[in-house]
Amino acid sequence: MPQMGESITEGTVVEWHKKPGERIEQDETLLEIGTDKVDTDVPSPVGGVVAEILVAEGETVDVGTLLAVITDENEEAPQAPEPVSEAPESEPAPDPPAPVAPEPPSDHDTEAAAFAPRGAAVPKEGASDSFFSPLVRSIAEQEGVSTAELESITGSGRDGRVTKKDVLNYVASRSEDEPGFPELQSVESVEGPEVRVVKMDRTRKIIAEHMVRSKATSPHVTSFAEVDMTDLVAFIQREKEAFLERESAKLTYTPFFVHAAIEALREHPVLNASVDGDQIMLRDDYHINIAVAIGRTGLVAPVVRNAGRQSFADLARSVADVADRARNKKLQPDDLQGGTFTITNIGPIGGIKGTPIINQPQVAILAVGRIRKRPVVIEDPKLGDVIAVRQMAWLSLSYDHRIIDGAMASSFLTSFVRIVESMGAGS
């Protein structure tokens, strides 16, 4: 199992592209691996014959675990080690020691576990020798799950290990049991000729988990504005061929949106921040996530790093690069981490406007809707107020109401609109 990112400690075998006995070339896709961030195709490090597959599809294992054996065409597959022969009768094996019953926990131990402060550090191993991965420990500390609680969870991982999914399910069930939550009614499952049951794929499960956690973390508010794209639309249509020939990159709307967002963020730095307890972590660099639709089944949001330091042509190339790698499953988990602000362009798929969910741990996300011709009232210096047909688009800014108020959000949108309209008019 390869190291898929600095913070990634385990991965799931999503799909094998080769079967035992099949030939594979070096750098040909061997399997698809999934993490809690992204699914990625993994090339074979060598050419040869797939002799043995050791980890089944759907199984999650730690980084460094042996996944498969590839041999040379003329080489036999390695044989499993011979079992150790039994001891001769003249030397009987000693009887195994009688198991020692564990001491029952004292009242003091039980009380200490019950009232252990949430958020305390979780050790790598529990009292019962159970192993907790760094990811599981991080989630437990963030969600206030004590070591005693972790040890009570039935793990679904290898050798009964507690996985990320197990601890998140525990947190969700614990929240439902706490006072103040209404009793949840079960939904009757109805199957018949008019009902089809389709299991969520891995991408859908990851998106669902992230969205639920975001809504539970941040009080969401969405503000709207509209932007006149007429001049920018005309500029792109006029310059796209020359730009492609000169810069080897397509001229699309997204780089303009990224540039305008960065300039607006410079004026409103709290939107380029994150929240840690009662502290606001302001970011000096601008790492912008770009939401990319993957067919009709989901989306990912890779990061354009240091976008505030790039020229417009560099931005255009960076946006095209991350979008292409996202659609071809060539992203690495680190490509999805470390962003400070997210932009999603819902216009190309027909969305007029929406209320996007914040990409944690960020505090704001901007959605740009479909560009449509509409009659609007504009102020002409000579004719006064006139009705004209303009290319208009809705903007939706969802933000964390813990640190951003409506006035700040509206001010950001006003800056964004001013910058976009000036880019089109001044280009």
Q: What is the pLDDT of residue 26?
A: 84
CA-closest candidate to residue 236, choices 247, 250, 246: 250
What domains are defined for the chain? 10-71 (2.40.50.100), 114-177 (no CATH), 221-426 (3.30.559.10)
Characterize 320-354 residue by residue with b for buried, 16 or more Cβ atoms within 10 angstroms of its Cβ, and e for exposed: bebbebbeeeebbbbbbbebbbbbbbbbeeebebe
**φ/ψ of residue 51, rounded to 5:** -85, -35
DSSP structure string for 367-410: EE---EEEEEEEEETTTEEEEEEEEEEEEEEEEETTT--HHHHH
pLDDT for res 395: 97
Q: What percentage of the chain has pLDDT greater than the value 90?
A: 46
The contacts of residue 396 (CB under 8 Å, 6+ apart) are 222, 223, 224, 353, 354, 355, 356, 366, 367, 369
Average pLDDT over residues 316-328: 92
Report how far Cα 17 is from the mean position of its chain's Cα atoms. 24
Residue 114 has pLDDT above 70, yes or no: no
Is the predicted pLDDT of residue 180 greater than 90, yes or no? no
Residues near 175 by Cβ (< 8 Å), separated by ≥ 6?
181
pLDDT confidence band for 158 (50 / 70 / 90): low
- Count CB neighbours of 249 within 10 A: 18
Tell me the pLDDT band of 113, cut-offs 50, 70 and 90: very low
Cβ(51)–Cβ(1) below 8 Å: no
Distances (CA, A) of 354 to 223, 245, 303, 347: 10, 35, 22, 10
Give the number of residues written for the chain: 427
- DSSP H or E segment with residue 31: strand 29-34
SS3 content of the chain, % helix, strand, coil (to 5): 35, 25, 45
At 369 the pLDDT is: 95
For residue 293, give the nearest of 221, 377, 351 by alpha carbon: 351
At 125 the three-state DSSP class reads strand
Quick one: tokens of 160?
A: 């009964």
| pLDDT surpasses 60 at 59 | yes
Q: pTM of the entire structure?
A: 0.64
- The closest of 134, 129, 167 to 149, measured between CA atoms, is 167
More confident residue, 99 or 58: 58
Those residues whose C-beta lies under 8 Å from the C-beta of residue 86, and which sit 6 or more positions away, are: 93
Q: Kindly report which listed range (133-137, 279-283, 399-403) carries the lowest average pLDDT score.
A: 133-137
Kindly state the DSSP code that residue 324 receives in the 8-state scheme.
H
CA distance 397 to 412: 9
Q: What is the pLDDT of residues 230-261, one digit of tens each?
A: 999 999 999 999 999 999 899 999 999 999 99
Q: Mean pLDDT in the chain?
A: 81
Confidence of residue 35 (pLDDT cuts 50, 70, 90): confident
The catalytic residues are 401, 405
Up-side HSE of residue 233: CA atoms within 13 Å toward CB?
12
Give the pLDDT confidence score for residue 104 in this predicted structure. 47
| Three-class DSSP category at 282 | strand
**Rounded distance between C-alpha atoms, residue 334 and residue 8, angstroms:** 9
Q: State both tokens at 105.
A: 């926990």
Exposed/middle/buried for residue 250 (C-beta within 10 Å: 0-12, 13-18, 19+): middle
Asked if 383 contacts 191 with a C-beta cutoff of 8 angstroms, the reply is no
Across 153-157, 195-199, 267-271, least confident range: 153-157
Residue 111 has pLDDT above 50, yes or no: no
pLDDT at 382 over 90: no
Residue with the larger pLDDT of the pair 286 and 84:
286
Out of 40-54, 58-72, 148-162, 169-183, pick the least confident.
Answer: 169-183
